[in-house]
Structure 1
Amino acid sequence: MYDAIVIGGGFYGAAIAIYLKTRRGFANVLLIECESDLLLRASFNNQARVHNGYHYPRSFTTAFRSRVNQPRFVQEHPQAIKRDFTNLYAIARHNSKVTARQFRRFCHEIGARLEPATEVHRKLFETRLIEEVFLVEECVFDACKLAEWARQELDECGVDVLLNTRVKSIKKAWNGLIVKCDGDAQEALSGHYVFNCTYSGLNQFAGDFPGTQIKLKHEIAEMALLQAPLDLADLGVTVMDGPYFSMMPFPVRGLHTLSHVRYTPHSSWLDQAKAEAGPYQILADYHHETRVDRMVRDVKRYMPAIADAKYVESLFEVKTILLKNEGDDGRPILFERHASLPNCYSILGGKIDNIYDVLEKLDAESFSLT
């Protein structure tokens, strides 16, 4: 009988398992991951940006929480942080949902540093299409170094880790919850509490699991990896906020990611609890054909130097958001305690620094192991 079973070995699952053991006094904690190691899925296959609020002019709450959480994340994970590059945000002249003036006011309201870019950096952009270019403060993280941190912390605090194991069902028991698995663990596991941190797989459990009340939307997302040309090698660039695209350093590979609002999402669908083919199976069956040529063709209209970038490969992953925030770009956490399945929680975050919003929620929970 475990005090807690955490399902999902991404950054959130690992951080929550460590929190339960070190800060809430759980004696026996088990972390279950279906992959062969930690932080191999959504925690790895993303743009690796540690947000500082700039991304969310249409969601003040998300922007403000980023401003609160980002310094703490950087302070607690310095070994995984890369910030030795210049970060630029540019505002498109046409079809943008925010003007340069509005962006300045927004950054002032959330307390985010914003300065005019140098003339050298301004010349990288097509002035007919770009209204203004700003120098900002953001950084990126190295997912492999975060995984090293997770493995070390889990080992030191005594969390049991079970890899290559997929949870199939969660059921009620007279003294807690029963988790049934396949993979390396074929037996049923018992826990007083279960924390479902499976990101896109939140609703794919049989048994008594009721599904989340908040509706989810999934999309297959492509993150292209490029070798940036010399003029862009030391830069991170984001163009706001209608013809949105972004190019950021990707420390794990020594490359840059390229994402585009039109071409990064390949397909999307509404989540269906206990669907015959879950999100990860849909991704596995999907033909991974890159759209990088279309990304580069559009981006070079705004930033001509991108034409000299060399495409290496693409990362494909399922991206999951709360359906209610599709229109405003907000990225709040999902934190549900299931009334019909006592002591079972489902947790999802839209950004890596949202982990502190989750931990605040957990701080407010009263756990009883008697």
Structure 2
Amino acid sequence: MLSFYHEHTAVVIGGGFYGAAIAVYLAKQRGLKRVLLVEREPALLMRASYNNQARVHNGYHYPRSFTTAYRSRVNLPKFVRDWPNAVKQDFTKLYAIARRNSKVTAKQFERFCRDIGSTIEPASPALRALFEPRLIEDVFLVEEYAFDTTKLAHWAEHELKESGVQILYETRAVEIFRSSDSSLQVVIETKHGLQELIACRYLFNCTYSGLNHFKGDFPGVQIGLKQEITEMPLMHMPPSLGGLGITVMDGPFFSMMPFPARGLHTLSHVRYTPHLHWDDQQGVNPYEKLDAYDQTSRVDRMIRDVGRYIPAVLNATHVDSLFEVKTVLTKSESDDGRPILFEKHVTLPGCYSVLGGKIDNIYDVLEKLDTEVFSEIKPAF
């Protein structure tokens, strides 16, 4: 049985980085007084915000999507400015171009980096010596960073408290309705199965892989989504690789990046990181599919392939693996771009769905929100 109404000006569903940042923005920058954040986990930033490669992009990763690359280059200094304590800069970042099967050549990559304004220079002979020269065309020293999700979570907890945002943990939104007076109503459910009805003027769906999985009047997003179950191995690297981040590109290749939250490195491989994929559809809950999946690691296959290019990685030790659902826009599959999804639902005025492909995309979302008009007027009941 549903309990009585709780009235809020805005409800944000999803306590990842995007949901937390949007809730803080609404309260601090836009002055909304009654903001509620609903998070299904017992703490903030526990799912996709944590279970990823923790990379603050500077554009290098996207030579086939100029817009994504350029926006990353523009947003990186903003991110470093706004979250300096969470950004790890004290490592050397290398990008290497494979001789075979790469979708860009070394010269094309250099030109692309200069076009977007990202720093690039030849790597030293000592760093080049880490790579198998028969498989690698060239190696470049670049500027790219990593972030510590645990420190971002501490920031979010502090800012939400200071902003007066109410947080409901271990609670999920299950239904979204439009009431007769055009306000929005959300049915939330605790882990014990207790349900309550929330009324609000504005609703922000920041559930990442769960964007389409609500009952009621919620229409779903108009653009196609692809879901992937991914594995991100956490590795203890040998001394020769400990202070490095390395990406070999562009195509079916790999990356290793510092993972500050655990003091380890992630290892990702385009061929082996995705374990399973499907087109998002109603009735197929991504999180239930993840829970039911046999999470057998593919790290041995990753290491064998990476070791052909960087022999020292054969001495790395697998510590753990992070399994998660990754969500991308179907239209981005061709160029590997990572634009944001920002959709206003016409049939549910005041309801927004937001999906970001990278953490620095948050500025693209906030720029969109700057153009929206919000008021503190309470819904009429």
Task: State TM-score, norm by structure 1.
Answer: 0.98
Does residue 135 (structure 1) correspond to residue 141 (structure 2)? The answer is yes
Percent of aligned positions that are identical? 64
Counterpart of 2:3?
none
2:207 to 192, 198, 211: 198
Q: Is 1:64 aligned with 2:70?
A: yes
| Contact persistence 1:56–1:329 (CA under 8 A) | yes
Task: Specify the SS of the correspondent of 2:265.
Answer: strand
Q: Which runs of 5+ in 2 are unaligned?
A: 1-6
Query: What SS does structure 2 have at the residue aligned with 1:187?
Result: strand
Q: CA deviation at 1:175?
A: 5.2
**Alignment-derived partner of residue 89 in structure 1:** 95
1: CA distance, partners of 2:87 / 2:64:
27
State the secondary structure of the residue aligned to 2:339: coil
Write the letter of the residue equivalent to 1:213.
Answer: Q
1:237 aligns with 2:246: yes
Instruction: Tell me what 1:221 maps to.
Output: 230
* 1:336-347 map, 5 Å: 336-347=343-354
The residue type paired with residue 93 of structure 2 is N
Letter in 1 for 2:326: K
Query: Is the CA contact (8 Å cut-off) linking 2:233 and 2:318 kept in structure 1?
Result: yes
Supply the distance in 2 between the matched residues of 1:151 and 1:369 (Cα, whole angstroms): 23
Q: Distance in 1 between matches of 2:285 and 2:92?
A: 40
The residue aligned with 1:323 is 330
Per-residue displacement from partner, 1:13-62 (whole Å, max 9, x unpaired)? Answer: 00000000111121110000000000000000000000000000000000
Asked whether the equivalents of residues 92 and 243 of structure 1 are also in contact (C-alpha less than 8 Å), the reply is: no
Write out per-residue CA displacement over residues 139-179 of structure 1, whole angstroms, 9 at most, x where no aligned residue.
00000000000000000010000000011000012251111
Q: Hey, what's the Cα distance between the residues in 2 that align with 1:367 and 1:236?
A: 42
Pick aligned residue for 1:7 from 5, 13, 19:
13
Runs of 4+ aligned structure 1 residues displaced above 4 Å come to none
CA distance in structure 1 between the aligned counterparts of 2:272 and 2:98, rounded to whole angstroms: 18
Determine if contact 1:283/1:318 at 8 Å carries over to the other structure. yes
Residue 163 of structure 1: aligned partner: 169
Distance in 1 (CA, whole Å) between partners of 2:186 and 2:125 is: 59
**Root-mean-square deviation (Å):** 0.8
The answer as to 2:381 corresponding to 1:368 is no
Helix, strand or coil: the match of 1:178?
Answer: strand
- Residue number in structure 2 paired with 1:207: 216
Give 2:321's aligned residue.
314
Deviation of residue 313 (structure 1)?
A: 1.1
Asked if 1:37 is matched to 2:43, the reply is yes
Instruction: Tell me which residue corresponds to 1:124.
Output: 130
Counterpart mapping for 1:50-61 below 5 A: 50-61=56-67
Structure 1 unmatched ranges of 5 or more: none
